[in-house]
Amino acid sequence: MTGFKRNYLALVLAGTLTTQLAACGTVFYPERKGQISGRIDPVVAIANGVGLLFFVVPGVIAFAVDFATGAIYLPGGRRADLQPNVTPDSLNDSLYANTGQRIDWQQDMVLVESLDNEQQLHSLLASNSEEMARVQ
Separation between Cα atoms, residue 20 and residue 56, nearest integer Å: 10
Q: What is the DSSP letter of 41?
A: P
Are 65 and 97 contained in the same domain? no
Nearest 5 degrees, angle CA 29-CA 50-CA 48?
Answer: 30
Q: What are the pLDDT digits (tens) for 49-77? A: 887 787 777 778 888 888 888 888 888 76
Instruction: Note whether 65 and 99 are same-domain residues.
Output: no
Question: Is residue 79 one of the residues assigned to a domain?
Answer: no
**Beta bridge mates, 16:** none
Residue 82, exposed/middle/buried by CB under 10 A (0-12, 13-18, 19+)?
Answer: exposed
19 is in which domain, residue-wise?
3-69
Is pLDDT above 60 for 107? Answer: yes
- Residues 15, 62, single domain; the answer is yes
User: How confident is the model over 74-94, as pLDDT tens digits?
Assistant: 887 665 555 566 677 877 787
User: What's the pLDDT at 83?
Assistant: 57
Q: Does residue 78 lie within any of the structural domains?
A: no
pTM above 0.75, yes or no: no
If asked whether residues 12 and 57 sit together in one domain, one would say yes
83 found inside a domain: no
Give residues with Cβ within 8 angstroms of 99, minimum separation 6: none
Q: Has residue 75 been placed in a domain?
A: no
41 located within any domain: yes
Give the chain's length.
136
Distance from chain centroid for Cα 74: 15
CA angle 34, 17, 1 (to 5 degrees): 165
